[in-house]
Structure 1
Amino acid sequence: MRRVTSPRALAMALVVVLGTAPASTSASTPASAPVPTVFLGDGVVGGYGIAPVDEGARLSCVRAQENLPDVVEDQLADQSILLDITADVSCAGAELRHVWEEQQLGGDVPPAPPQKRALTKDTRLVVAGLGAGTLGLGRILKQCSAKLRGTAGALLPEKPVDERSAAGDCAAYFAKGAGADWLAGRFEQVDKDLEKLFSEVGSESPSASVVLVGYPRLVPKDVKRCRTALPEGAGRPLADVPESAWPFLDQQVQSRLNSLMAQRAKAAGAVFVDLYATTGGATACDGDARTTGGLLEPSNVTLLHQRHPWFLHPNEPGRDQNGDAVAQAIATGVFGRGPA
């Protein structure tokens, strides 16, 4: 068990009021009991780049001590909903398949076990944030960035889709031919793996309500905001990704992924948290107000004498904003509460 219910949560909530839940949720949890909860996910859930790192977790997973599950727990406690987080197995770089397969962490580091091992028959709430790794977002970014293909991107282990195609041509590469076929194949895999995710969770924890968390928006609608340099000389928000690729990353990659995740969640009777729809006003391209670390912007995490850069992960304000949104979606969609 990674944590027990916090003293603050105990002070804030004496009972869990289930209210009227959708048909997909479980009403079998006693009203006086904290809800046994498991978080599955990748670095967005785990708080990649946010210091300090949780030394009790696998260091290669780069999980923050205070990450999205902590914010969700605290926000729900403010609404008198107690969570008993029995496990947070989020890990940077995790793909959907790592819910049921080991995740290789590189070098001589033992692999992370399948995330579903944290699930039990007693689990009543499962919150999952996965999908971008399966789609190959890291490979797409490396296809579009010469800097990421070099030493600056060494901590992003993926390779570009086709090293023979220049980074500056990535939008055209993905628009037709081999690049378009590759991207279509990745979306097909995400679709299959999302279906399997819900099946695996249902098998391990048949009485659990399931919440699927989408991804915060990376490229704002007004792409001109991404031309302004980050504060403190940290470069441009999207590094050297060509401007011609920005609309592609937004519409053909992220918006499309968000829609697919929403569709699969609806089909499974799960709650979907649409962070894409609510985060466009404070992306990495919004200076001091940004809620996402800029691509290759130095983060606050140093491990093994290496300063980890951001790879467009939420920073502390982003973690808090996303956690608030997830908590409200759980309160409304699982526990039948109105807006806080």
Structure 2
Amino acid sequence: MRSRTGTFGLGVVAAVVFALATAPTAAASPIEQVNLGDSFSAGNGVLPLAPGTPIRCLQSEQNFAHIVARRQGYGLTDASCGGAATRDFYIPQFSGTRAQFDALSPSTDVVTLMIGGNDNSVFSGAIAACVSALATHAGVFNPCEQQNGSSFDDKIVDTTLPSIRQALRDIHSRAPKAEVIIVGYPWLIPAERTCEPMVPVALGDVPYLRNLQGTLNEAIRQAAADTGTTFVDMSVVSEGHDACQPVGVRWVEPLLFSQQFVPLHPNAQGEAAIAAEVTAALASS
């Protein structure tokens, strides 16, 4: 009698253990990724557009953040928007949008962003100035540099750098446990040669614009270093993939004869290349 009772007890225990071992467990919450930033971060020009996003933001579902999220299995909230500057982290950029920082919370695990190019109209202002200088001063070696000197670089150092530094500090404050990754801009033009008419600037203004982009990327790197933020440097890997290269080689579309509707921005290959570098940075963090 004692033996049968003991056997029964062991059988019950075994059944309970088996049930606990095989019971379904609650699915783990996905890692929360938030993407912030401007047109390079939003993937302006790369189709298709991300559904449910403000049309004026031209956010692509093939931008680097979407690619990273799919590869990593992250839950993505993408607040990036074409034309954004650091001020748009704090206030709505236009009707129908929210301040980009509204996407951040203490539960955010990963933040990715590209920002700085629109502060002080660095990219658009400098490109417009240099295209105009070529048109109005044909035959002059570096008309844009002669007209503008260090003005664009000075704005980056004096205004853009402090703005990016403060924005990164505020990201860390709003998302204190998050890995924050800021990405530098891939090269838009080569180091020396011109590629008129695709990017119509004078030969001497090619290194002028290239150095300007170098100043901006250095400001982003410095702001990252000052705030404990991971910096993804695109300058080495994007060398030889600028807008002057042939289709299939370039990661950035040219100003004229672009293969996408937003010129002088990363194409699908460029966004994929950025995604690869961000993924590598996440793996090493």
TM-score bin, normalised by smaller chain: 0.7 to 0.9
Residue 170 of structure 1 corresponds to: 144
Match of 2:161 among 191, 201, 204: 191
SS at match of 1:94: coil
Deviation at 1:267, TM superposition (A): 1.4
Q: Which of 60, 65, 71 lines up with 1:69 in the alignment?
A: 65
Point out where structure 1 has 5 or more consecutive residues left out of the alignment.
Answer: 1-31, 105-109, 150-165, 230-235, 301-307, 334-340
- TM-score normalised by L of structure 1: 0.69
Matched AA of 1:286: Q
Question: Considering only CA atoms, is the larger Rg found in Structure 1 or Structure 2?
Answer: 2
Distance in 1 (alpha carbons) for counterparts of 2:222 and 2:171? 17
Within the candidate set 133, 144, 154, 2:130 is matched to 144
More off after superposition, 64-73 vs 206-215? 64-73
Q: Deviations over 1:206-258 (max 9, x none)?
A: 2212111110011223x33x43x6xxxxxx331x222211101111x111111
The whole-number CA distance in structure 1 between the counterparts of 2:109 and 2:221 is 21
CA–CA separation in structure 2 for the residues paired with 1:309 and 1:128: 19
Does the 8 A contact of 2:133 with 2:144 survive in 1? no
Shift of 1:188: 1.4
Residue type of the alignment partner of 1:254: Q
What amino acid does structure 1 have at the position aligned with 2:53? A
**Is residue 2:275 matched to residue 1:323?**
yes
Alignment of 1:1-340 (within 5 A): 33-75=29-71, 77=72, 82-85=73-76, 87-104=77-94, 110=95, 112-136=97-121, 137-146=123-132, 169-175=143-149, 180-181=150-151, 183-221=153-191, 223-224=192-193, 226-227=194-195, 236-238=197-199, 240-251=200-211, 253-288=212-247, 289-300=249-260, 308-310=261-263, 312-333=264-285
> Could you tell which deviates more after superposition, 139-148 or 190-199?
139-148
SS at match of 2:35: strand
> Which position in structure 2 is the counterpart of 1:163?
none
State the alpha-carbon separation in 2 of the partners of residues 203 and 318 from structure 1.
Answer: 31
Mapped contact 2:114–2:184 kept (Cα < 8 A): yes
Deviation digits for residues 80-102 of structure 1 (CA, Å, limit 9, x no counterpart): xx3221x1011111111111122
Relative to structure 1, the CA distance from residue 278 to residue 38 in structure 2 (aligned partners, 3 Å threshold; closer, same or farther) is: same
2:61 maps to a residue whose letter is: Q
8 Å contact from structure 1 (residues 50, 299) kept in 2: no
- Give the TM-score normalised by the residue count of structure 2: 0.81
Higher helix share: 2
Change (3 A) 1:317 1:147: farther
Give the C-alpha shift of residue 195 in structure 1. 1.7
Runs of 4+ with >6 A deviation: none
Q: 2 CA distance for matches of 1:187 and 1:195? A: 11
> Greater RCO between the two (CA within 8 Å, min separation 6)?
1
The number of aligned residues is 253
Cα deviations across residues 32-83 of structure 1 (Å, max 9, x unaligned)? 54211100011111111111222411111111122111221234x3xxxx32
Change (3 A) 1:203 1:309: closer
Query: For the residues of structure 2 that align with 1:55 and 1:39, how far apart are their CA atoms?
Result: 16
Question: How many angstroms does 1:205 deviate by?
Answer: 1.3
Q: Secondary structure at the match of 1:249?
A: helix
Deviations 1:252-296 (CA, angstroms, capped at 9, x unpaired): x11111111111101111100001221012111111211111013
Q: Is the 8 A contact 1:282 1:290 kept in 2?
A: yes
In structure 2, C-alpha distance between the alignment counterparts of 1:68 and 1:96, rounded to whole Å: 19
- Alpha-carbon RMSD across the aligned residues, in angstroms, is 2.4
| Conserved? CA contact 1:142–1:148, under 8 Å | no
Q: How far apart in 1 are the matches of 2:134 and 2:258?
A: 14
SS at match of 2:244: coil
1:105-138, Cα deviation, whole Å (9 max, x unpaired) = xxxxx15321000011111111111011114211
The percent identity for this pair of structures is 25
Conserved in 2, the CA contact under 8 Å of 1:100 and 1:200?
A: no
Query: Any gaps of 5 or more consecutive residues in structure 2?
Result: 1-27
